[in-house]
Each structure stands twice: as structure tokens, then as C-alpha cells.
Amino acid sequence: MTGGDGKAGWRARLLAGRSRLTAAELAAAADSLREHVLGALAGAGQVAAYVPVGREPGSLDLLDGLRSAGTEVLLPVVAVGGLDWAVYSGRRDLIAGALGTREPAGPRLGAGALTGVAAVLVPALAVDHRGTRLGRGGGYYDRALSPVAGRVPVVALLHDGELVPRLPADPWDRRVTAAVTPALGWTGLPVVEHHGC
């Protein structure tokens, strides 16, 4: 893919690519991502994550797997002015949220809830080798990640082919520190380029 026409062009191409994924491909990708993430986050006390919408990478099985391993999972709640957070207590307790999302029905924890997390799993349309994340354009995660300490991994879940060499970036974009794809698994970012490769 080329990125000469900016973020809007990238978003259009990436969404078109996702629209061509079959149900079997989506299920296989979700299973692979679950295994990669559960292996990497074994023993984490608290993790922020998200409920995938449409063809976004990830799954409720991943969230349930984290909970089964003893990890408390915080999920975003779209609120006025940004994201709030609530504890995921199981898929039966999810309710319809704003912007087509699903969110926990439990108490809201406030924007500062992420200060104690061991990692943050974020949705993305693509991530580049520098850690630049391309989202859907609302800026919710860029704002929500401001209280997250620099040492906490911020990890984008992707489909294969969505970890790319370079994306357009704005000064306010919050970079991610890792990306997970079904084929490559957990990839730390930025990718160190070797001369002669």
C-alpha cells in the first residue's frame, strides 16, 4: 500500500481490505490473536482492552481468556468528551454503547482508571514500524492514553498485512509500543531497521 493521499486514503483501503475477509479468516485470526496475547500477558493483574466492532481484530474469547487467567479487564465506555472505563464481568453484562460499541453495564471508573494497568490493548486499522497507529479518526484513544505511564505497553491488535513500514502521522498521535498480528505474533515497536535488509 502507498500512503501518498494521507490518512483518509489509508483508511479507505484498509477498510476495503477488511471487508474482503471471510468469516473463516476472521475466526482464525481471532484465535491466533487470542493465543499470542494470552501468552504475552500471562500474570498481568489488570489490562485495558476493547470489544471489537464489525471486523476489528480481537474477540470476546480473548477477554474471557484474560479473565479466566485472573486478569481484571477494563473496557472503554464512550462518554461526553472522551472515554471512561468499566470492569468487564462477562459477555452477558455487555450493553449497547455509543458509536455501535458494546460496553460493561457496571460502574464507571473515570478517565484515570488506566493508571494501574499492566498493558493497554487498542484497536487500529494499521500501525507502522515506528509505532504510529491509524485509528478511525475520532481521537478517542489518543486522548484516553494520556494518563498511561510510558513504561506500560500500548498494544494494537491487527489483521495480517496491517503492520506497514510507514503511515502518515500528526503531532498528537499517541504511538503504540507493540503490534500483534495472527502471523507475526507480538512485535515490539519501533522496529529496528538493519542496514542491508
35 found inside a domain: yes
SS3 28: helix
pLDDT value for 2 = 47
Q: Which of 82-91, 152-161, 168-177, 182-191 has the lowest mean pLDDT?
A: 168-177
Rounded Cα–Cα distance for residues 22 and 164 (Å): 22
161 found inside a domain: yes
pLDDT value for 80 = 84
Residue 37, domain CATH: 3.40.50.10420
Q: What is the pLDDT of residues 67-83, one digit of tens each?
A: 999 999 999 999 888 89
Confidence of residue 33 (pLDDT cuts 50, 70, 90): very high
pTM for this prediction: 0.93
In the predicted structure, residue 4 carries a pLDDT above the cut 70: no
Average pLDDT, rounded, for the chain: 93
- Compare 189 and 137 and report the one with higher pLDDT: 189
Confidence of residue 3 (pLDDT cuts 50, 70, 90): very low
What own/partner pairs with CB < 8 Å and gap ≥ 24 does 26-33 have? 26/55, 28/182, 29/57, 29/159, 29/160, 29/182, 30/57, 30/58, 30/59, 30/61, 30/62, 31/59, 31/61, 32/182, 32/183, 33/57, 33/58, 33/59, 33/62, 33/157, 33/180, 33/181, 33/182
Confidence of residue 194 (pLDDT cuts 50, 70, 90): low
Q: Domain total for the chain?
A: 1
197 found inside a domain: no
Contact indicator for 131, 177 with CB cutoff of 8 Å: yes
131 found inside a domain: yes
In the predicted structure, residue 188 carries a pLDDT above the cut 80: yes
pLDDT value for 197 = 44
Domain that residue 176 falls in: 6-188
C-alpha cell at position 183: 502471523
28 found inside a domain: yes
Strands 126-128 and 133-134: antiparallel
| Residues composing the chain | 197
193 found inside a domain: no
164 closest CA partner among 144, 151, 181, 143: 181
136 found inside a domain: yes
Find the helix or strand (DSSP H, E) in which 93 lies: none
In the predicted structure, residue 195 carries a pLDDT above the cut 60: no
Rounded Cα–Cα distance for residues 186 and 195 (Å): 23
pLDDT value for 69 = 97
* φ/ψ of residue 63, rounded to 5: -60, -45
SS3 152: coil
pLDDT value for 111 = 82
114 found inside a domain: yes
Share of the chain above pLDDT 90, in %: 80
Rounded Cα–Cα distance for residues 78 and 87 (Å): 14
